[in-house]
Amino acid sequence: MTRIVVVGSINMDLVTQAPRFVGPGETILGERFLTVPGGKGANQAVAAARLGAEVALVGALGDDAFGQQLRAGLAAEGVNLEHVARLAESASGTASITVAGGENQIIVVPGANARVTPAHVEAARSLIEPADAVLVQMEIPLDTVEATVRLGHRLGVPVTLNPAPAQKLPNDWLRLACYVTPNQHELAILLGADPAEDFQTLMQRTPCPVVLTRGSEGAWYREHGEPLHQPGFRVDVVDSTGAGDTFNAALAAFLHEGLPLAVRKACAAAALSVTKLGAQGGMPDLRELDAFLAQQR
């Protein structure tokens, strides 16, 4: 069983489905409201667990009702929560999400996620040391992301850095990551480059291997120096929230099968994830993923 440690955020997603996005000062009627578990770290943990990995999460929740619900949900998915702190005087993270026409707009209020420190990562060293992979995203403080990448590198455990939401990152620790997994927009921000620049050129300028996600167009990566493209899978999109998280989790869960197959499975899992409402709603389990892939030519 692949052992994965995820270091990242846990949010309650407050999701409104609407006919379209609103403009400033405008009020419209929405169609549906849902309160569902989310947060990039928690999403990646759940997606990897559904795909059969043994998963532990390092993060923090507030000492509030959302915190209790989120903890119970993660435990029910089989995620090890030994290193998820309960922080008094902090609210749990929230994300206010509008979904319209399969696209989303998101405002995250980090709450307890802003108090996940390098010390929390160091405290999980005994979990990280024997792990097959570490996943980290950027909804927690940057020094904690850096500490995760550095510790993984020191212990010889491959770290996948999902640079979302994107910020420009220093090359000296970016090069310690095993993979970085931005979309095109995030890649430009990561490098401080012009977003209009050709993504293949940007990929070559990145100091560590890149697996670039392009939504319905699939993913680009390099194998033995050659640029390779995994086309996306055609599905009916209900909600794209969490697609990137599902991609990252599947990539880590199947990396031992080789990069091309892992990227193919990651694209398929991400495609399935967008067919239902809510970040974790459509994340497939292993059986669903295998059945979907068997239907493809």
**157 vs 284, beta carbon nearer ligand RIB:** 284
Q: How far is the CB of 43 from ligand RIB (least distance, A)?
A: 5
Binder among 22, 91, 106, 123 for ligand RIB (CB under 6 A) = 106
**95 vs 135, beta carbon nearer ligand RIB:** 95
Chain position carrying tokens 């270091």: 7
Binder among 61, 64, 92, 139 for ligand RIB (CB under 6 A) = 139
Could you say which residues in the range 151-190 bind ligand RIB, by CB under 6 A?
none
SS3 at position 262: helix
Ramachandran area for residue 280 (φ above 0: left; ψ -120 to 50: alpha; else beta): alpha
Distance CA 101, CA 19 (A): 7
Q: How far is the CB of 116 from ligand RIB (least distance, A)?
A: 14
Residue 242 binds ligand RIB, judged by CB under 6 A: yes
The token duo for 113 is 């996620």
Active-site residue, selected from the candidate residues 13, 143, 245, 285: 245
For 79, residues 6+ apart whose C-beta sits below 8 A from its C-beta are 42, 45, 46, 49, 55, 56, 57
Residue 241 binds ligand RIB, judged by CB under 6 A: yes
Could you say which residues in the range 261-280 bind ligand RIB, by CB under 6 A?
279
Determine whether 13 is an active site residue.
Answer: no
Torsion of CA 256, 262, 268, 274, to 10 degrees: 90
The token duo for 22 is 């609103």
Contact set with ligand RIB (CB under 6 A)? 9, 11, 13, 38-40, 43, 95, 106, 108, 139, 241-242, 244-245, 279
Q: Looking at the annotation, which residues are catalytic?
A: 245
